């Protein structure tokens, strides 16, 4: 595996990351399933999605340096390839400025939609 990525395994019910916490990595799910849940610590948590192999999670918090909008919890043993915040930022900084701007606008729009 590329040395810029770290393989990690999460057990069922283990958090990959928690809502409201700064992002440290983005994750490519290579096997297993992850539930994306908003309001996890409240009385009425909402499941936003269940994601599996080939899906990427945690990237938005790295794009705009905002806390995670939701929690990610393994619902079965899940293996991911993690890219660190530093490596992610290095790659974003190498992007074409127009494409980088478009991605930042998309992240901002998604955050705004989920706040409603």
Q: How much is the pLDDT for 106? A: 92
Query: 73: which residues sit within 8 A by CB, 6+ positions away?
Result: 13, 14, 15, 16, 34, 35, 37, 40
Domain count, the chain: 1
Containing domain of residue 98, as a range? Answer: 5-115
Q: How much is the pLDDT for 55? A: 97
Residues of the chain with pLDDT under 70: 1-3, 116
Q: How much is the pLDDT for 1? A: 42
Q: How much is the pLDDT for 58? A: 95
What's the CATH code of the domain at 35? 2.60.120.10
Provide the whole-model pTM: 0.86
DSSP 77-95: -EEEEEEEHHHHHHHHHTS
């Amino acid at each position: 595996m590329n040395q810029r990525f770290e393989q990690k395994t999460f057990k069922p019910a283990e958090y990959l990351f928690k809502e409201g916490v700064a992002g440290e990595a983005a994750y490519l799910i290579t096997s297993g399933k992850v539930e994306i849940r908003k309001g996890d610590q409240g009385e009425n948590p909402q499941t936003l999605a269940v994601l599996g192999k080939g899906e990427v999670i945690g990237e938005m918090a790295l794009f705009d340096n905002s806390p995670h909008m939701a929690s990610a919890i393994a619902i079965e043993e899940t293996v991911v390839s993690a890219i660190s915040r530093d490596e992610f930022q290095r790659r974003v900084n190498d992007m074409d400025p127009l494409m980088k701007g478009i991605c930042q606008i998309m992240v901002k729009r998604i955050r705004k939609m989920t706040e409603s």
